[in-house]
């Protein structure tokens, strides 16, 4: 099963990378008041059904893919 994990800096966490991107976008003339930079992890997972895939990926997120102190994650399963 294919899935994507979106890892984002949590709300309120300073994101200097996002801020640098925002400033550069403004230099290009775009009216951007906020930019936050996270990462995407695309996965192929062997699992029996969507529920099992989701619970496996949740564990992957808490054990490695995201640091819960500073990052949130969102799991998107491909149908």
Partner 1 sequence: MTDKPVVAVVVFPGSNDDHDAAWALGAVGAEPELVWHADAELPPETAAVVLPGGFSYGDYLRTGAIASLAPLMAAVREFAVRGGPVLGICNGFQILCEARLLPGVLRPNRQLEFVCRDATVRVDNAASVFLRRCVSGQELVIPVKHGDGAWYADGGTFVQLAARGQIVLRYTEDVNGALGNVAGVVNEAGNVMGLMPHPEHAVDPLLGSADGGLLLAGLVDAASAHRALIAA
Looking at 36, 70, 72, 77, which residue binds partner 1 (CB under 8 A)? 70
- Least CB distance to partner 1 at residue 71 (A): 8
Note whether 53 and 77 are within 8 A (CB): yes
From the list 28-36, 43-51, 52-60, 64-72, the region that binds partner 1 by CB under 8 A is 64-72
Sites for partner 1 among residues 2-61 (CB under 8 A): 13-14, 16-17, 20
Instruction: Decide: helix, strand or coil at residue 55.
Output: helix
DSSP state of 7: E
Note whether 37 and 17 are within 8 A (CB): yes
From the list 25-33, 42-50, 52-60, 63-71, the region that binds partner 1 by CB under 8 A is 63-71
Over 15-37, what HEC string results? CHHHHHHHHHHHHCCCCCCCCCC
Judged by the rule CB under 8 A, the positions of this chain that interact with partner 1 are: 13-14, 16-17, 20, 64-65, 67, 69-70
């Amino acid at each position: 099963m294919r899935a994507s994990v979106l890892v984002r800096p949590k709300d309120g966490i300073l994101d200097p990378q996002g801020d640098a991107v925002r400033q550069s976008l403004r230099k290009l003339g775009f009216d951007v008041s906020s930019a936050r930079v996270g990462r995407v992890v695309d996965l192929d997972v062997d699992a029996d059904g969507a529920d099992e895939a989701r619970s496996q990926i949740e564990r992957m997120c808490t054990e490695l893919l995201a640091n819960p102190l500073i990052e949130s994650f969102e799991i998107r399963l491909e149908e």
